[in-house]
Amino acid sequence: MTTYQVFCKPFSRDVRASEIRRFHRWRLIKFVLLPFVGLSFGSFMATYLFSNAEAGPETAWGSIRPIAVLTMTLFLFAPLPASRAQDSSKASDADSAAIKQTFTDFYESFSHHDAHATAMTFAEDADFTNMRGIHRHGREEIEAWFANLFKGNLKSSNRTDIVRSIRFFTPQVATVDADTVITGTKMADGSEGPPRKGLMIATLTKQNGRWLISVFHEAEFPEPAATANRLTK
């Protein structure tokens, strides 16, 4: 299934919701049910052993041996979710750093006006929608779009996208919000406009060990009326 199928087709919401539900069920079993069952059996074993102590240690132990074996097994496996959670946390930290690096690669390539390098931070079947609602699909169309921009009013521009938040839906899918600042935009009269600020909202997917932008949306914060008039003249 391609990234486009997962995020852009009509049935994509059902697929994504199913994955999220499965992920949360798995976490519920790991972190809640298994430790609870282990503690319950441990408590039951202790109570049962105490109540049969008068019958003699051998009789008492023989009667609860199956329960003891089951309880010990559960306690052996109960700590595993915590250790796995630590491993998962380490993996998330590494993935978060890799996602931030993808954003750095994007805005540095943008600032160097390298359309090909900019497009390479996108997935092959990515969807791109800019501040004015213009849409491009696929890496080839996205590269052509940036190449045209870098010949026009963004030929002297610089851009930064600072990651504000990352939310993982699965180990291979994350949504990211980033604060965008673009400077050096040329106005219609040839002068340089003020810094443009906005929000970049992207969905990234991990493909062959690399995080790539699969869905890209950006919104520009409103400028004062005088600046807006200069941009449209």
Contact 166, 178 (CB under 8 A): no
Mean pLDDT of 160-165: 96
Please write the tens of the pLDDT for every residue from 214-228. Answer: 999 999 998 766 455
Tokens 């060990």 belong to which residue? Answer: 209
Q: Identify the pLDDT of residue 15.
A: 43
49 pLDDT tier (thresholds 50, 70, 90): low
- What does the domain layout of the chain look like in residue ranges? 3-78, 91-232
H or E element, residue 64: helix 57-77
- What's domain 91-232's architecture? Roll (3.10)
- The DSSP symbol for 178 reads E
Please write the tens of the pLDDT for every residue from 20-29. Answer: 566 666 666 6
Q: Which two tokens stand for residue 165?
A: 């938040």
Q: 166: closest CA among 94, 118, 109, 85? A: 94
Residue 182: partners with Cβ closer than 8 Å, 6 or more residues away: 154, 157, 158, 159, 195, 196, 197, 198
Tokens 């359309």 belong to which residue? Answer: 115
Please write the tens of the pLDDT for every residue from 54-111. Answer: 555 555 555 556 665 565 555 555 554 554 555 556 668 999 999 999 999 999 999 9
Number of residues written out for the chain:
233
Cα–Cα distance for residue pair 229/106, rounded to 1 Å: 30
Tokens 């938040």 belong to which residue? Answer: 165
Cα–Cα distance for residue pair 88/26, rounded to 1 Å: 13
**pLDDT beyond 50 at 11:** no
Residue 198 sits at the vertex; the CA angle it makes with 205 and 217, to the nearest 5 degrees, is 35
Q: Identify the pLDDT of residue 8.
A: 42
7 pLDDT tier (thresholds 50, 70, 90): very low
Cα–Cα distance for residue pair 42/67, rounded to 1 Å: 9
Tally: H helices and E strands in the chain: 8, 6
Q: Which of 14-23, 60-69, 158-167 reaches the highest mean pLDDT?
A: 158-167
Q: Identify the pLDDT of residue 223.
A: 74
Cα–Cα distance for residue pair 84/35, rounded to 1 Å: 14
Q: What distances in angstroms separate CA 162 from CA 45, 103, 119, 221, one per listed residue?
A: 55, 8, 18, 16
pTM here is 0.61
Q: Identify the pLDDT of residue 23.
A: 62
Cα–Cα distance for residue pair 150/89, rounded to 1 Å: 40
Gyration radius of the chain over CA positions: 28
Please, what is the average pLDDT of the chain?
78
